[in-house]
Amino acid sequence: MLLLSPLHIFETHSALTSIPSGKFLINTINAHSYNVAQKDDDFAAALKNGDYLIPDGASILGACRFLKAISRPKERISGWDLFAFEMNRLNEKGGKCFFMGSSEKVLSLIKQRAATDYPNIVVETYSPPYKPEFSDEDNQKIINAINSANPDLLWIGMTAPKQEKWAYKHWNELNIKCHCGTIGAVFDFFAGTYQRAPEWWQKHSLEWLYRLIKEPKRMWRRYLIGNPLFLWNILKEKFSQNPSN
């Protein structure tokens, strides 16, 4: 029922300009995260109850049209698109950006590149412990670091569904007044520790195939099993809502 919910799903890149100032949580959704949300109620709740949802995949665009969803995106908007838009906007006026997630190495590379690409942005970071579940003490340290920084823009990158669930669970404890995006792999893309698919692959909606070719052992299950599963889940969603369609 995720794509049929009255979510604020962006329909075009230009819609990013419509996000008002203030505290808003922005998540992304692709075929993989949709599949995971079918079996993870906490993840589904995090996606449904965020303020905005970005359609990061041609499969999501097609599914919204097929389901005749309230929102029917016309363009794929990746996490990188959101990142570039928000960073450019903040750089124009100057301010502070906080990156929470990933390793100290990746965060150090992010600070180095940001100093060149976005010279008007002060970058602060926090690398959480590398473990499946954070303790209460871990969570409080993360929250304190973010609140102390009082950023003008917050990025959370711990891969899905961990990042979305964390942001949603602790949203009311974050005393911020800015946009927060859960953007996962963008940390590595910007740091240069992982290469994004070339532009041709992106334009032809083949970024998933590029990742499969580059990392077959890690990605084969997500795409070779996950893609057919996504189609099956979409069919179930459509006919469970309105069998006559």
> In this predicted model, what pLDDT tens digit does every residue of 180-234 receive, in sequence order?
999 988 999 999 998 888 989 988 888 888 889 989 998 999 899 999 999 999 9
What would the CATH number be for the domain defined by 13-202? 3.40.50
Structure tokens at 87: 């960073």
> In this predicted model, what pLDDT tens digit does every residue of 33-63 receive, in sequence order?
999 999 999 999 999 999 999 999 899 999 9
In the chain, where the domains are located? 13-202
DSSP-assigned beta bridge partners for residue 126: 100
> In this predicted model, what pLDDT tens digit does every residue of 12-32 receive, in sequence order?
999 999 999 999 999 999 999
Grade residue 66 by pLDDT with cuts at 50, 70 and 90: very high
Q: What percent of the chain has pLDDT over 70?
A: 96
- Classified as helix, coil or strand, 197 is coil
- Classified as helix, coil or strand, 205 is coil
> What Å distances lie between residue 172 and 9, 17, 40, 228, CA to CA?
22, 25, 21, 37
Grade residue 5 by pLDDT with cuts at 50, 70 and 90: low
- The answer to whether 145 and 151 are in contact (CB under 8 A) is no
Rounded distance between C-alpha atoms, residue 117 and residue 73, angstroms: 30
